């Protein structure tokens, strides 16, 4: 039985919460040890897509939290998108990092100058793929996960306090392509990692 992710998010005194978009537990558990260390737990996401996860997870007031977002579903202003996340006012501030592009280094400058608790929502390992393998299959997904884990290995030492790495939902990789449809209860879409006290692996 997986642990309730929402409960952990609300009860853990993290300083930085890192969201790896569409990161499924089984693949993460096989690969993170090449880049990071920490206490890994399998947790149950309340959702199978980002907009659903935002609405079901962030239900309280978080005036001490800044949300740095590379995902357009979480943005500081109303985009008039039919699936726009509405409780944006619940956070201290939302920084629209996605306006500068989806690459992980675009979050870095904001993360290092933002005081207090913060959420860093990366686009990876979600498509588009930027790893060595760019095919939209398991090989491409694993390569994209390695890409963001390698980046975090070189970056996490610059963050202060307790860092946790988790995900909004998993990914379904099948003959139908790369999918994470909303409202699904598939294991690969709901089981995500919770890496407590995440730190770079020192080789």
- Does the pLDDT of residue 48 top 60, yes or no? yes
Number of neighbouring beta carbons within 10 Å of residue 100: 14
- Average pLDDT estimate for 23-39: 98
* CATH class given for the domain over 3-198: alpha beta
Q: How far apart (Å, rounded) are the C-alpha atoms in residues 195 and 23?
A: 12
pLDDT, tens digit, 9 for 90 and up, residues 171-196: 988 655 666 778 888 899 999 999 99
Find how far residue 100's CA is from the centre of its chain: 18
| Listed range (112-116, 148-152, 184-188) with the worst mean pLDDT | 184-188
Residue 81 vs residue 107, higher pLDDT: 107
Query: Domain ranges in the chain?
Result: 3-198
pLDDT at 36: 98
Which residues sit opposite 168 in a β-bridge?
none
């Amino acid at each position: 039985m997986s642990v309730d992710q929402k409960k952990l998010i609300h009860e853990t005194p993290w300083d930085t919460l890192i969201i790896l978009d569409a990161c499924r537990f089984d693949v993460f558990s096989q690969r993170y040890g090449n880049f990071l260390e920490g206490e890994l737990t399998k947790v149950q996401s309340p959702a199978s897509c980002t907009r659903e996860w935002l609405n079901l997870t962030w239900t309280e007031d978080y005036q001490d939290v800044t949300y740095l977002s590379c995902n357009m579903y979480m943005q500081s202003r109303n985009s008039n998108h039919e699936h726009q996340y509405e409780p944006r006012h619940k956070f201290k501030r939302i920084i629209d990092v996605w306006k500068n592009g989806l690459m992980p280094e675009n979050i870095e400058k904001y993360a290092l100058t933002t005081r207090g608790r913060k959420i860093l929502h990366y686009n990876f390992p979600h498509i588009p793929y930027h790893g060595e393998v760019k095919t939209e299959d398991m090989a491409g997904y694993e390569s994209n996960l390695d890409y963001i884990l390698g980046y975090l290995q070189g970056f996490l030492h610059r963050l202060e306090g307790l860092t946790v790495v988790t995900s909004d939902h998993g990914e379904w990789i099948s003959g139908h392509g790369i999918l994470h449809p909303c409202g699904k209860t598939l294991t690969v879409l709901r089981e995500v990692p919770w890496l407590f006290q995440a730190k770079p692996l020192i080789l």
